[in-house]
Structure 1
Amino acid sequence: MRIAVLQTGRADLDGLAEAAGTASDRGARLLITPEMFTTGYNVPGVPERAQRAHGDWLDQVAAIARSAGIAILYGFPERDGDDVFNAAQLVDRDGTVLAKHRKSHLFGDLDVRTFTPGSGDLAVVDLDGARIGILICYDVEFPEAVRALALAGADLVAVPTALMRPYEIVARTVVPARAYENQMYVAYANRSGQEAELAYCGESCVVGPDGADLARAGSGEELLLAEIDPARLASSRAANTHLRDRRPELYGALTTTQENAR
């Protein structure tokens, strides 16, 4: 399956339609956008602009997916009662919602003052024979979150993100490590440009289960394409047996709170 990753700094559904059409014309089956694509991340008024999951943004993205014939994973602020979540929703090419994830690990003041943390739901769904999991930005920096998706059978983890400087190490080192240690593909869709004091580093990427880049962006706007190959995944898993060689009985301390651990 070919996938596409949209690196952009714009909150632009017309731009999404153009990218979806281009990606589909190039054979992509899935398009992944950055975190908080519909509004921007570090911008005023996000809570006021938040929508319910089945609101107008979904209608527009579903129409784009149907028109272009491509599944789309898009980031948006989700209103649910009094709560606002940093969310990402996967829409199939017929406009059907396949899955949604709410960011579970909130990074810094901006996230904490704006969003309610998600409950850590495991969003893993089938798309064209591939098992796809979803995380958002800081989530992927926690090995437990990615491992949980691996144990749930994910072949690809798609990560809308808003990674800013000076944290390039996440895109360059952490993401490849997550792909290798969990024997999966990881697609990391970052923002570009600048919002107020935040300068986004770009470097969106698709990394294979061997930890090697299949595609990597620079710092500007870009549309990446890469192949998710089941045969390559099976071969890598046969050679690198991390999941099979786990010893869960040794890891009980991972579920102990810091206070109890002390």
Structure 2
Amino acid sequence: MTRVACWQPEWVTSRSHRDEFLDRLARIAAGAADGGATLLITPEMSATGYHLGRTRTAELAEPADGALADGVRAIAERTGVAIVYGWPESTGEGIYNSVQLVDADGTVAARYRKTHLYGQVDRSVFVPGEQLVVQARIGSLTVGLVVCYDVEFPETVRAHALAGTDLLVVPTALVRPWEIVARTLLPARAFESQLFVAYVNWYSSGPEGYCGLSAVAGPDGRRRADAAGIVGETLLFADLDHAALETARLATTYLLDRRPDLYGAAR
């Protein structure tokens, strides 16, 4: 059994300073540890905020091994909790919308760059990643990383399922009126590919419009944790039983019954 914690922060426009984020993350990670979690998941661009525009995003961008990463690694090591966080990653090719998984010992276990960019909000700021399946082992689970819009493509989730991902982590910044993604698509993706999916969003009552609705869905399509009805910031916990994956895959044999020989370019 693996317990994960999902942090749904309330959006505040001033929360874009590295030190402030690290202070808040340290408190949240301590709370996750107190709750028995071994993995803490935060939203898309959790370190800086999203929808900041090209200029501000560039000002806040850091390399993958910068001061932000050092701070998160120290928190993970101190609390004994693995952490997934998002930030604008500066590179020689441009800025990526990235997430990084830091293991409980402070080691960077995986880094993923968002492959499916959403409209001009993303394309005017970021360059797309080119590696679809990125994984790391956390406890008994193989954890895969994607970001927000990526999960809205069934091919992405199916690729993870075929590669052995048990828990697909989806930091997101979903806004109204697209609640259907969290309410309907999330459990469908988990069910059709027989894996756990953790969808972790911001919340805002202001013009930013982040709808919250963070949730963890299981391979049977049922929710293990759900922030529906919670207004504001929250820390959700979900217990993920590896045996549930085997049970679901025996009950609904989508992965075994595939006919890739018929799919052509859709494979």
Indicate the TM-score class for this superposition, using the shorter chain for normalisation: over 0.9
Name the structure 1 match of 2:154.
Answer: 143
SS in 2 for 1:244: helix
The superposition leaves residues 212-252 of structure 1 with CA deviations (integer Å, 9 ceiling, x where unpaired) of 11111134111000011011121111111100110101111
Name the structure 1 match of 2:37.
Answer: 28
Displacement of 1:254? 1.6
In structure 1, C-alpha distance between the alignment counterparts of 2:231 and 2:91, rounded to whole Å: 34
2:258 equivalent to 1:246 = yes
In structure 1, C-alpha distance between the alignment counterparts of 2:243 and 2:121, rounded to whole Å: 41
Name the structure 1 match of 2:65.
Answer: 54
Displacement of 1:82? 4.1
Number of residue equivalences: 254
Displacement of 1:100? 0.7
Displacement of 1:194? 5.7
Instruction: Describe how 1:44-83 pairs up with structure 2 within 5 A.
Output: 44=53, 45-83=56-94
Name the structure 1 match of 2:25.
Answer: 16
TM-score, length-scaled by structure 1 = 0.94
Name the structure 1 match of 2:181.
Answer: 170
2:239 equivalent to 1:221 = no
The aligned amino acid for 1:105 is H
What runs of 5+ residues in structure 1 fail to find an aligned partner? 256-262
Tell whether the 8 Å contact from 2:81 to 2:104 is kept in structure 1 after alignment. yes
In structure 2, C-alpha distance between the alignment counterparts of 1:101 and 1:194, rounded to whole Å: 29
In structure 1, C-alpha distance between the alignment counterparts of 2:236 and 2:189, rounded to whole Å: 20
Tell whether the 8 Å contact from 2:132 to 2:156 is kept in structure 1 after alignment. no
2:152 equivalent to 1:152 = no
Tell whether the 8 Å contact from 1:4 to 1:226 is kept in structure 2 after alignment. yes
The superposition leaves residues 76-110 of structure 1 with CA deviations (integer Å, 9 ceiling, x where unpaired) of 10001141000000000111000011001111211
In structure 1, C-alpha distance between the alignment counterparts of 2:150 and 2:37, rounded to whole Å: 25
Name the structure 2 match of 1:104.
Answer: 115
Tell whether the 8 Å contact from 1:2 to 1:29 is kept in structure 2 after alignment. yes
Tell whether the 8 Å contact from 1:209 to 1:236 is kept in structure 2 after alignment. yes
2:46 equivalent to 1:37 = yes
Name the structure 2 match of 1:208.
Answer: 218
Identity of aligned residues (%): 51
In structure 2, C-alpha distance between the alignment counterparts of 1:128 and 1:153, rounded to whole Å: 15
TM-score, length-scaled by structure 2 = 0.92
Instruction: Describe how 1:117-136 pairs up with structure 2 within 5 A.
Output: 117-136=128-147
Greater Cα shift, 52-61 or 113-122: 113-122
In structure 2, C-alpha distance between the alignment counterparts of 1:49 and 1:248, rounded to whole Å: 43
Which of 184, 208, 222 pairs up with 2:195? 184
Tell whether the 8 Å contact from 1:79 to 1:85 is kept in structure 2 after alignment. yes
The aligned amino acid for 1:118 is G
SS in 2 for 1:74: strand
Name the structure 2 match of 1:3.
Answer: 4
Tell whether the 8 Å contact from 2:4 to 2:39 is kept in structure 1 after alignment. yes
Name the structure 1 match of 2:18.
Answer: none
Tell whether the 8 Å contact from 1:5 to 1:189 is kept in structure 2 after alignment. yes
Q: Give the alignment's Cα RMSD to 1 decimal.
A: 1.3
Displacement of 1:186? 0.2
SS in 1 for 2:156: helix
SS in 2 for 1:104: coil
SS in 2 for 1:78: strand
In structure 2, C-alpha distance between the alignment counterparts of 1:153 and 1:37, rounded to whole Å: 27
In structure 2, C-alpha distance between the alignment counterparts of 1:126 and 1:132, rounded to whole Å: 6
